[in-house]
Amino acid sequence: MAHSRWIPLESNPKVFNSWAYEAGLVDTQAHFEDIYGLDDEILDLMPQAVKAVALLFPCTGLVAEKRKEEDAKIKASGQEPIDPTILWMKQTISNACGTMGLIHSLANTDVTLVPESPLAQFIEQCMDKSPEERAKLLETTPLFGQIHATAASSGQTEVPQNLDTDLHFTCFVKAPTASARLAETQTQQWRLIELDGGRIGPIDRGECTDLLKDAAKYVKDFYVSQAKSISFNMMALCPGPQLEGH
């Protein structure tokens, strides 16, 4: 199963919402929307407060090189401690990065899931497992492959014959500082955390005061500025039901 290959998910709110609702997200509580720009005046139009940000980017050239360099640096020297309750899992299924981004987004935010739904049960089973064990659980849960395939076929573009792609999903959430979580204290200090199953683990991206704007700034400074391709797309996990026509 570790060498299986799924159909890439289209970076489209309809596709992500289809996956999320089928997996167990309560559709009146949250939904995905496109982010149409990285400037504050555009971001201010999004429903608040955004719970997670999903990014599709070209994993090539300088961007790919920087990812490898950063993973090696973290492995050698460590990083800012991460909130221990963050759920992160390794990606072992080709083209499953969309599903990984969805799981990472929904499992690490305060969204409401249908009790005993596939995602609610999966998250519960993941709690006491390592990232590699969580990946194995995903591999051996056929229902998620079915949910992924159904969502992939709901997109606006035709399913490609060639499943090779350089595009990759990652996501951003906010989490309390690790020290505050471990001390079980109330805190207003938050960190921006990037969750990507293709990386060494969850990665701290600095202080977070506004998830949407902080994620947008990071994407602008460290993804868009280093890529030659314009194949970027961002979506936000927003509160409330999806509006008609969106």
Q: Which residues are catalytic?
A: 97, 168
The rounded distance, in Å, linking the Cα atoms of 194 and 226 is 17
Pair of tokens at residue 196: 């990507």
How far does Cα 86 stand from its chain's mean position? 12
Under 8 Å between Cβ of 223 and 1:
no
The rounded distance, in Å, linking the Cα atoms of 65 and 11 is 23
Alpha helices in the chain (DSSP H): 13-23, 40-43, 61-77, 97-107, 118-126, 131-139, 142-152, 178-183, 211-222
Torsion angle of alpha carbons 191, 192, 193, 196, nearest 10°? Answer: 180
Please report, as a single letter, which amino acid is at residue 175: A
Going by C-alpha positions, the residue among 21, 50, 19 that lies closest to residue 33 is 50
Under 8 Å between Cβ of 171 and 195:
yes
∠210-212-213 over CA atoms, to 5°? 70
